[in-house]
Amino acid sequence: MAKYAQIKEYIYQKIESGEWPEDHPVSSENALATQFAVSRMTARRALQELCDEGLVTRTRGSGTFVAPLKSQSALLTIRNIADEIRMRQHQHSAQVLMLEQVPAEPTLATFLHVPNGSNVWRSIIIHYENDTPMQVEDRYVNPRLVPAYGEQDFTQATPHEYLCDVTPLTEASHQIEAITPDQQMMTWLQLEQPEPCLQVHRRTWCRDGVVSQATLTHPGSRFRLGGHMTFRPSRKIKGEG
């Protein structure tokens, strides 16, 4: 494991164990560099990636601290919401509102690559963190690839966990937008007044085709997106500039 990754894993474990709770100070770049016998630049990279992922916050002159415990999800990776909640030493629970087969209307049939009007699985699930609703998951699943989807108990394992187990995912796409929730969504999310919500539209593939199309809705006050990208430097074309 690379040195910066070792530092990240060390901090992950401190947060997961609860030893470093919300707003707890995180070791400085100098302290981490000394502890892991690395350069300060390596320690800085680890802290910056954790900041990009939303697990810590950094303020010039004040230091680095464990981020507030609102839902933290990476934009560029697929994470299981139950794992995120458990990582914060909180309790995850789920309420299944719907789990049945429905006919695929034309747009959905195109997304799932199934015949128009054919039956597909649909589930609507509310995910809770310590009894507070954090996400409404509205998911359609291709029954050709996941025939037993409707037989699962999604209060025990999330659809994400189940799908990764039976159809290892190879590809995913995201579309993200801010929405104003309707009355039904406000009821599900226990919102007393309308507030902006973040909605993620996610489509996933396995080797054999499109697995699912999901819409994940989160209250803006309880959710945050983060991510980290590494770019390779572009090679200068000979004779350019």
Number of domains in the chain: 2
pLDDT attached to residue 241: 41
Verify that 40 and 153 share a domain, yes or no. Answer: no
* Prediction pTM value: 0.66
Verify that 156 and 41 share a domain, yes or no. Answer: no
Chain centroid to CA 175: how far? 13
For residue 235, tell me if it sits in a domain.
no
Residue 230 has pLDDT above 60, yes or no: no
Question: Between 73 and 189, whose confidence is greater?
Answer: 189
For residue 241, tell me if it sits in a domain.
no
pLDDT attached to residue 1: 65
**Which structural domain range is residue 144 located in?**
71-226
Tokens matching residue 157: 């394992």
Verify that 42 and 127 share a domain, yes or no. Answer: no
User: CATH no. for residue 20?
Assistant: 1.10.10.10
pLDDT attached to residue 77: 54
Q: Evaluate whether 216 touches 199 at the Cβ level (below 8 Å).
A: yes
Mean pLDDT to the nearest integer, 79-90: 81
Verify that 45 and 109 share a domain, yes or no. Answer: no
Verify that 107 and 194 share a domain, yes or no. Answer: yes
User: CATH no. for residue 80?
Assistant: 3.40.1410.10
Most confidently predicted of 105-109, 111-115, 139-143, 202-206: 139-143
Question: Where do the H-state alpha helices sit in the chain?
Answer: 3-16, 29-36, 40-52, 81-87, 106-112, 159-166, 183-189
